Structure 1
Amino acid sequence: MSFTYKTSVVAVVAALAVTACSFGPSGEPPAMPSPEHYGAQPQLSKTVAAGGIAQSFDVGATGVTQWWRLYRSPALNALVDEGLRNSPTLAATQRTLAAAQEELRAQVGASTLPSIDGAVQVERARSPVVPGLGPEQVQYNFFAGQLLAHYTFDLFGQTRYMNSASAARVNVQAFELEASRRALAANIVASAINVAALDRQIALTERLVAVSIDAANEDQQRYALGSVSRAQALASKQDAAAIAATLPALRQQRALAIHTLAVLMGRTPDNAPDVPALDSLSLPEHVPVAVPSDLLRSRPDIQAADAAVKAAAADVGAATAQLFPSLSLTGSMGRGGFSWPAVLSGAGGLWAIGAGLSQPIFHGGALFAQRRASIDAYAAAVLHYKSTVLSAFQDVANSLAALDNDAQASASTEVAADAARAAFDDTASRHRMGSLPLAATHASESRYLNAQIGAVRAAGQRMSNTAALFQAMGELPASQQTAASTQ
């Protein structure tokens, strides 16, 4: 009967060990919808033509690794390369990841392999004795050297779950590093485009200010001659001052943008880099639009959320496994004695071996509370994953809509700028023939300069939103790109 009881206990323990893999959720991310198109409206195949380019949306294409090179600007490539190489923020994230990887190696080694330590003890001691029954004191030496071993069996998978959770959290940091790298590149490109667009706007505004001042001076002279009213002269002066007031704001925007770019690249603001001219940047003609299933694998923020789900699932398993027994083995061997000859003799041998089995019985409800907390944390991680995916879909939808609208706005501003240029040329020609006054030329040139400023803003916005779409697409790993291309 005793043998039957022991056999039953062993069978139960073995069954529990086999089912330890079911102590926690699988860690697979929840199924997400796969929309036919990202935005509220069906996806267009291409935008309207603006600047001679109608951008094509390549549906099903994967993200581009170094997408900023599609702007075909060696100067822009140099800015991004320097930023990725010298950014202290990115370097700090890399070091943090390296530290987490080493901590994981330490945890796995300490928890899955036996620990063996060496110990040497040399002691001189004095022990009192009872008066009248012997010497008043006993002094002796003691020498010992031992090897100590300890190992805890992972009967119910607690160690495995804990290591899996730590490994998943290291993966979270790895994906966050990749997200930081891509975000840094996107921010450098956006900042450079912004600076380039502001440089062009400032140059055009400076000319606009000069023209408006000339017009105000001319009206002042005409007022002195009595050919225009005082109200018109004052209005011209007011317009010139109002236009001049826009210059400091543009220069301030430019200063903020170039300082931001310098810091992104790991430089001090006083050592800001030279930025390529806006006209030297080529707008990418083809932009990828990954299908939703590929987007889930290509965006590092989604991959980080996926890894967080796996870590939370492993935490549930670990919290469940700690409710079950734990078995440990300890052993030691060495030599010891009260003198060196005794240590080296046959009588100096020391050894010990033992086993310990512990079972939680009462912890004030702490273990069950920890398990419930891990289950809630897992549910939160799943919801965070869903939120991250929806936000990613929103990013893509917003970027696609922005590019479509940017192209239309850019096309309209180009038409306006071309018409204003033609009108200005015609007005200037008629002025040279004496059929129109100089004031008409100033007014026509002002309209042309304003139209050019609008066209520059639209072109810069289109380039920036193109970078945002490349960023939103993420990047499939090389192995997955190969698999996707063969499907």
Structure 2
Amino acid sequence: MAAAGLLLGACAVGPDYQAPAAPEDTAYDVNPETAGDTNKPAADDSAGIAAQAFDTAARVRADWYRVFESQRLDALIKQAIEDSPTLAAGQARIKAAREVVKQNKAALYPQINVGAGYDRRRVTGAQFGINDPQFTNVFNFYDAQATASYDLDLFGRTRRQIEAASAALDEQQYQVVNTYVTLINNVVATAVAEAGLNAAIQTTEALIDSQSDALDIVGKQIAFGVAIDADATQIRTQLARTRASLEPLKKQKTLAVNRLAVLVGSTPGQFNDPAFTLDELALPRDLPASLPSQLVNQRPDVLAAAAAVHAASAQIGVATANLLPDVRISGSYTRQALTPANLGDPINALYTLGAQLAAPIFAGGRLRAQRRQAQDLYVAALADYRATTLAAFGDVANALRSLEADARALIAQRTAVDAAGNNLDTVRTQIRNGAADYVSLYTAQAQYQNAQLDVTKARVTRYRDTADLFRALGGGWTNADGQALSAATGIPAAARE
């Protein structure tokens, strides 16, 4: 009987969770490295650009953002982690989810309560069917009791509830880790965007200056009769267009700075513009490119989706157990007396000990409908997991392809700048020799500076897509032991269960 009881107590109905299978893909369809000079240092601010190599064996480091070698960027990210209200809210929800697990685990233990009471009573014979007015008594009544109950959990309902709560805790933790990774990526992307806008504003202002100078020179030539008004009109029109293009750039820069302020937990009015520049950001030479089979264990959103599948699986067990009998053992021990002193007399002791069985007989189909609902939600969670996994693979593949295309685009833009620069030098030589006019010089300068703007855009895209690759690979959120960083979850490693 004891052995049978142990076996029965160990039973937990419902499916045992099986982690979704890892994908069969073994590699991404990508070249080992991008176009560029493999011997050039990791930077792209001079003629020629460095190639970036992909290492499928490399692991995303926790402080991956340090690859850009900017102490000011590192400081902003540190501030964002410490002061972000979104991250703080998520970390508080992790703590709340941990308490839910503890609440469910409490059901595994006997529930013991104590109580005491006093009341003054008046009884008459009428309560006992005695029609005698003299049969009346007024007295004090004292009682003290202890009660205990224990659910045998024969079919594992409590254990499945604990399993579901633990999986929900995992899901919440991975969601917050995803918030942490996204926060860092957003700070990096916004800082890169601001650096690019600063470069674009600088180039545009230089173009405005050169166009203004050209307009002044042509104006003097008109005065001396060596140029016509049409030449000035052409330059004046282009100058107005260039000046008009400057304001949207300044607006975008302001928006980028304000976004940085919000990301680091500050108000725009209290935040100092970091004024990032592209030249202060290093471009990493070697990049990780985890295999698809490894990605499912690195991406927090994929891990959160897997935890949701686990929770849904456990809920099927809870719904199944609700269809089956439940056995509870309970007992009580009570002392009742007319005076407090008599409570210690064993003759006033009362006790009960027994077992209760409760089984659903008819619920109008409600319990079976709940079980079918749990099964359908499990199927939905599996589909969500697959969708999240496919999106993750797509993110990595897109990031890798984007970096390859970025390198080729930057090379092409560098070529265009070189050609525009050579043309500008030629026009300047022709002017010195009297073979060209200042309108031609203005045109060559505009072409050169517009080409520089295109290079700036290409550089920004390359930096941004580099950061996006780290984000697509899951970002860095674990320590050397594979545990989530305390900075991400808000839970010290020593406090984790």
Return closer, same or farther for 1:67/1:244 CA change in 2, 3 Å cut-off.
Answer: same
Runs of 5+ unmatched residues, structure 1: 1-6, 482-487
User: Residue by residue, what CA displacement relative to the aligned partner does 1:323-375 show, whole Å, maximum 9, x if unpaired?
Assistant: 11101111122422122233232322232222100111111111000000000
Task: Return the TM-score normalized by structure 2.
Answer: 0.88
Give the letter for the 2:92 counterpart.
R
- The question of whether the paired residues in 2 share the 8 Å contact of 1:122 and 1:144 is answered with yes
Find the counterpart in structure 1 of residue 462 from structure 2: 462
Name the structure 2 match of 1:210. 209
Structure 2 letter corresponding to 1:444: A
CA distance in 2, matches of 1:126, 1:65: 75
Distance 1:136 1:269 in 2: 84
Shift of 1:259: 0.6
Contact 2:198–2:275 (CA under 8 A) maintained in structure 1: no
Instruction: Tell me if structure 1 keeps the 8 A contact 2:25–2:293.
Output: no
Deviations 1:91-137 (A, max 9, x none): 1110111111122112212x111111110111112234448614374
d(CA) in 1 for partners of 2:398, 2:161:
40
Aligned amino acid, residue 77 of structure 1: D
2:147 is aligned with 1:148? yes
What is the rounded CA distance, in whole Å, between the counterparts of 1:424 and 1:126 in structure 2?
113
Is 1:82 matched with 2:79?
A: yes
Q: Deviations over 1:52-79 (max 9, x none)?
A: 3100011232222211111111111111
* Aligned residue in 2 for 1:56: 53
SS in 2 for 1:298: coil
Partner of 2:20: 30
2:365 equivalent to 1:375: no
* 1:439-478 mapped onto 2 (5 Å cutoff): 439-474=439-474, 475=476, 477=478, 478=480
Matching residue within 107, 112, 118 for 1:122: 118
Deviating more after overlay: 426-435 vs 292-301: 426-435
The amino acid that maps onto 2:408 is Q
**How far is the alpha carbon of 1:13 from its aligned partner?**
8.3
Name the residue aligned to 2:92: 95
Larger CA deviation: 282-291 vs 235-244: 235-244
Matched, 1:233 2:232: yes
- Contact in 2 for aligned 1:100/1:170 (Cα 8 Å): yes
- Residues 223 and 432 (structure 1 numbering): CA distance in 2 closer, same or farther, change over 3 Å? closer
| SS at structure 2 position matched to 1:97 | helix
Output the CA distance in 2 between the equivalents of 1:87 and 1:15.
50
Is the contact made by 1:218 and 1:439 (CA closer than 8 Å) also made in structure 2? Answer: no
Alpha-carbon distance in structure 2 between the residues aligned to 1:88 and 1:209: 42
- Aligned position for 1:339: 339
Q: Does 1:259 align with 2:258?
A: yes
CA distance in 2, matches of 1:164, 1:89: 27
Q: Is the Cα contact below 8 Å between 1:62 and 1:294 reproduced in 2?
A: no
Question: What is the Cα deviation at residue 236 of structure 1?
Answer: 2.4
Q: In structure 2, do the counterparts of structure 1 residues 15 and 333 end up closer, same or farther at CA, with 3 Å as the change threshold?
A: closer
Structural mapping, 1:17-416, within 5 Å: 20-21=11-12, 23-38=13-28, 42-49=29-36, 51=44, 52-109=49-106, 111-130=107-126, 133-135=132-134, 137-220=136-219, 222-223=221-222, 227-273=226-272, 274-416=274-416
Q: CA deviation at 1:233?
A: 3.3
The more displaced of 387-396 and 25-34 is 25-34
Structure 2 CA distance for partners of 1:15 and 1:347, relative to 1, 3 Å: closer
TM-aligned CA deviation for residue 147 of structure 1? 1.5
C-alpha displacement of 1:292: 1.1
Give the TM-score taking structure 1 as reference length: 0.90
The alignment partner of 1:297 has SS state of coil
Matched letter for residue 372 of structure 1:
R
Aligned equivalents of 1:137 and 1:211: distance in 2? Answer: 114
Aligned residues of 2:9 and 2:152 also touching (Cα < 8 A):
no
CA distance in 1, matches of 2:239, 2:389: 51
Say if 2:305 and 2:381, in contact at 8 Å, map to a contact too: yes
SS at match of 1:204: helix
CA distance change for structure 1 residues 15 and 103 in 2, over 3 Å: closer, same or farther? closer
What secondary structure sits across from 1:147 in the alignment? strand
Number of residue pairs matched by the alignment: 467
CA distance in 1, matches of 2:206, 2:149: 82
Q: Are 1:59 and 1:290, in contact at CA under 8 Å, matched by a contact in 2?
A: yes
Mean Cα deviation higher: 223-232 or 256-265: 223-232
1:387: how far off? Answer: 0.6
Q: What's the CA shift for 1:430?
A: 4.9
Cα distance in 2 between the residues matched to 1:202 and 1:74: 24
Task: Output the amino acid matched with 2:447.
Answer: R
CA distance in 2, matches of 1:153, 1:211: 86
Answer yes or no: is the 8 Å Cα contact 2:20–2:306 preserved in 1.
Answer: no
Unaligned runs of 5+ in 2: 38-43, 484-497
Structure 1 pair 401–340 and aligned structure 2 pair: CA distance change class (3 A): same
| Conserved 8 A contact 2:23-2:293 | no
CA RMSD of aligned residues (A): 2.4
d(CA) in 2 for partners of 1:155, 1:412: 71
Farther-moved stretch of structure 1 (344-353 vs 219-228): 219-228
Which range is displaced more, 325-334 or 258-267? 325-334
Alpha carbons 2:181, 2:477 under 8 Å: kept: no
Separation in structure 2 between the aligned mates of residue 331 and residue 43 of structure 1, nearest angstrom: 69
Identity score, percent: 34
Residues in 2 aligned to 1:35 and 1:112: alpha-carbon distance in whole angstroms: 43
> What is the SS of the residue equivalent to 1:150?
strand
> Is the 2:141–2:338 contact (alpha carbons within 8 Å) kept by the matching residues of 1?
yes
Which segment is superposed worse, 361-370 or 266-275? Answer: 266-275
The AA in structure 2 aligned to 1:105 is: K
Hey, what does 2:494 align to over in structure 1?
Answer: none
> For 1:378 and 1:148, how far apart are their aligned partners in 2?
39
Aligned counterparts of 1:205 and 1:442: Cα–Cα separation in 2: 14
Q: Deviations over 1:180-232 (max 9, x none)?
A: 11111100000000001100101111111222233344445555665555444
Q: State the Cα deviation string for residues 16-63 of structure 1 (Å, max 9, x = none).
A: 666x44x3233223335322443xxx3101001172310001123222
CA contact (8 A) 1:61 1:290 kept: yes
Pair 233,441 (structure 1): closer, same or farther in 2 beyond 3 Å:
closer
